[in-house]
Amino acid sequence: MKQMIRILFLGSSIFIISFECARSQDFESKIDSLFQCYSHEKPGGQLAVSRDGRMIYSKAWGIADLESNAPLSKESLIEAGSVSKQFTAAAVLLAERQGLLKLDDPVNKYIPELPIHGKPILIRHLIHHTSGLREWSDIAEFAGWPEVLRVPNNGDVLNIICRQQSMNSVPGTEFRYSNSNYILLTIIITRASGMSFSDFTMKYIFQPAGMTHSSWRDDFGKVIPNRSKAYEVKNGKFRISMPDHSIHGAGGLLTTAEDLVSWNEFYLSAKMGNEALYDKQTALDTLNDKSLNHYAAGLFIDSRSTRKPVFFHGGATNAYRAKLIASPAGGLSIAWLSNTSMLDTVGIDPAAAVFDLLTTPDEQVAPQVMPVTAVKMDQAKLKSYAGYYKSAQSARDVEITMDSRGLQLSDTPLDAISERQFRFHGIELSFNHENELTVASPTGEPMQYHKVDTTVSNMPLDQFIGTYFSGEVGAEIKIWKNNNSLEIVLVSGATHPLESYARDRFLIPGLKADLTFKRNGKNNIDALELSTQRSIKVLFKNRMPRQK
């Protein structure tokens, strides 16, 4: 009888093992099918997946260097872009734990050369992208970077940030993603610890986390073994697109997919410091008005289902691409790195596709249905919101209509949150006094749309022509007429057409920017303002205003 039980038990064990192997082979083949776009003749990528601390999938595809035809392996180094930010934020949290700084310290305590515009910026504002600082790379692009202007390191970025005489917003009032924040954090770590940022993170993060292949691109000319080259696609051919600078902290992490998974396991298990440090890394930020900011310490937090939040971040530097996802409730970590931007044009998000494949519906974060309270709306005000909206930041226009059901988008009624705020399938739409519409998803950057004024007749274009200079940018731009339309010319020589949407207001899709001409008391145009998603109202003054 005992022998029979032993045989039955052995048989059931074999069945269980066989079942697990079959299931493993099933999800492996499904993941493989998602990456059929990679081949032996093209640049490729890496994918690493762990479940409950155990690596269940790790592969690499494609070529690391097309010139030498070197294959891309699991040990090949690929830049992680903005996935790097969580490591910079973690370094700040560790520095606070060591007593080197406090998150509520003003930034000027460590960077006294940074101008103060009213309310001081705190370190925690930098971490959560609520500082109000403009995006340094937008300013640099207006000044001719990378074609003319050289910005080789973090010190040069600091000079650009310190040259700004105004900000996007008062610190703590709104989330607006800006790489400037994380450049300043690296400088604070260096000045507070007396160590280079690279040495600090190597000692306190990379080595303890077992990230044996990871380091920062803090010297872009340094020879780094196993580094892959990055490739974009132009006119159907691959071209090298590598960062030629040493700017790091906001990006610049050289790593592997397996190292990123090791990092997830390290901080998710509270091995980096303790539970309190983990809580600070993943806690939602609160703005001055007590509303939630879904950007934690270098992490986007999708917590629409508060029971099962998902932590994630994407990254892009030149043609490198990356994404790191963690689902603590499901014990799941997914890291994807690629040395080509070729998937951008088809809109594929490989890491998200793998996440959907490996999670059951109850593990996935479902949009939280928030109760809609009755808001008494003024019908005239509602009607003023209806119209056609365009954005330089998006190729998709938005048309808001109105009928007896109220405001609608794509024939779907908008739920009113307040007189100016509405909800559309988890996305918030906010209207303001200047005929602008802000569209914000729970885990993304807000996009600015402008209402098209259909009553504006053709404006004489000659009045806008001129040369405009900005002390904050340190360069001039030109507005000229080409046939019957206006163009902006940057100091780099880059030329972009302007699209009118209202009086004195234009979109520049090529720059993903808005342009507003400013008039003086005599109704002459004496200045213009350029605004991007991350840099608001950069002022350029007309060198020779035209007189009427």
The residue whose two tokens read 């569209």 is: 439
Q: Indicate whether 82 belongs to any domain.
A: yes
Q: Would you write out the chain's pLDDT as a tens digit for each of its 548 residues?
A: 444 434 333 344 443 334 344 455 688 889 999 898 899 999 999 999 999 999 999 999 999 999 999 999 999 999 999 999 999 999 999 999 999 999 999 999 999 999 999 899 999 999 999 999 999 999 999 999 999 999 999 999 999 999 999 999 999 999 999 999 999 999 999 999 999 999 999 999 999 999 999 999 999 999 999 999 999 999 999 999 999 999 999 999 999 999 999 999 999 999 998 889 999 999 989 999 998 898 999 999 987 654 578 999 999 999 999 999 999 999 999 999 999 999 998 878 999 999 999 987 655 555 444 444 567 778 888 999 999 999 998 888 999 999 988 999 998 999 998 889 999 988 899 998 789 999 988 767 889 999 999 887 778 999 999 999 999 999 999 999 999 999 999 999 999 999 999 999 999 999 999 999 999 999 999 999 999 999 999 999 999 876 65
Say what the pLDDT of residue 456 is. Answer: 79
What is the pLDDT, as a whole number, of residue 24?
55
544 alpha-carbon distance from chain centroid = 38
| Residue 438 and residue 330 share a domain | no
Between CA 445 and CA 452 the distance in angstroms is 22
For residue 487, CA distances in Å to 135, 201, 402, 507 come to 23, 45, 35, 11
* 155 is a domain residue: no
Provide the domain count of the chain: 2
Is residue 292 domain-shared with residue 420, that is, in the same domain?
no
CB atoms within 10 A of CB 473: 26
Extract the tokens encoding 458.
């053709």
Examine residue 15 and state whether it is found in any structural domain, yes or no: no
**190 and 260, same domain (yes or no):** yes
**Is residue 237 domain-shared with residue 93, that is, in the same domain?**
yes
- Evaluate whether residue 194 is within a structural domain: yes
- Cα 547 to Cα 520: distance, rounded to the nearest angstrom: 11
The residue segments making up the domain with residue 436 are 379-451
The torsion angle over the Cα atoms of residues 253, 337, 354 and 426, rounded to 10 degrees, is: 50
With 0-12 CB in 10 A as exposed, 13-18 as middle and 19+ as buried, what is 545?
Answer: middle
Q: Domain of 410: which CATH number? A: 2.40.128.50
In whole angstroms, give the CA distance from residue 75 to residue 258. 8
The domain boundary residue, chosen from 305, 324, 358: 358
Q: Do 326 and 415 lie in a common domain?
A: no
The confidence score (pLDDT) of residue 405 equals 84
> Residue 282 sits in a domain of what CATH number?
3.40.710.10
Same domain, 255 and 311: yes
pLDDT of residue 363: 52
Task: Give residue 307's pLDDT.
Answer: 53
Q: For the chain, what is the total number of helices (H) and then of strands (E)?
A: 12, 33
Which of 427, 451, 475 terminates a domain? The answer is 451
Tell me the C-alpha distance between 85 and 182, whole Å: 7
pLDDT at 548: 56
Residues 387 and 343 placed together within one structural domain of the fold: no
State residue 374's pLDDT score.
Answer: 60
Both tokens assigned to 248: 């790091």
> What pLDDT was estimated at residue 19?
39
Query: 430 is written with which tokens?
Result: 């906010």
535: in domain: no
Helix, coil or strand: residue 413:
strand
Residue 530 falls inside a structural domain? no
Residue 527 burial (10 A CB sphere; 0-12, 13-18, 19+): middle
Could you give the CA distance from residue 309 to residue 374 in angstroms, rounded to a whole number?
29
Identify the pLDDT of residue 547.
63
Examine the domain organization and report whether 219 and 325 are in the same domain.
yes
Based on the fold, state whether residues 175 and 319 are members of the same structural domain. yes
Q: What is the model's pLDDT at position 16? A: 39
pLDDT at res. 304: 62
Say whether both 342 and 387 belong to one domain: no
Which residues, including other chains, have CB under 8 Å from residue 115's CB and lie 6 or more apart?
Answer: 162, 164, 165
Q: Over 224-283, what HEC string results?
A: CCCECCCEEEECCEEEECCCCCCCCCCCCEEECHHHHHHHHHHHHCCCCCCHHHHHHHHC
Q: Is residue 97 part of a domain?
A: yes
On whether residue 425 sits in a domain, the answer given is: yes
Decide if 238 contacts 42 (C-beta within 8 A).
yes
What integer pLDDT is reported at residue 267 of this predicted model?
95
Do 193 and 253 fall within a single domain?
Answer: yes
Scan for tokens 């490739």, then name that residue.
Answer: 231
- The answer to whether the peptide bond before residue 146 is cis (omega within 30 degrees of 0) is yes
Residue that finishes a domain, picked among 400, 435, 451: 451
pTM as predicted: 0.90
Residue 461: phi and psi, rounded to 5, are -80, -25
3-class DSSP state of 389: strand
- What region, left, alpha or beta, does residue 280 occupy, with left being phi > 0 and alpha being psi -120 to 50 degrees? alpha
Bridge partner list, 45: 61, 338
pLDDT at position 359: 87
In this prediction, residue 22 carries a pLDDT of 44
pLDDT for the residue 544: 81
Do 179 and 310 lie in one domain? The reply is yes
Q: Which position has the token pair 């440090």?
A: 277
**Cα(417)–Cα(62) distance, rounded to whole angstroms?**
49
d(CA 440, CA 423): 10
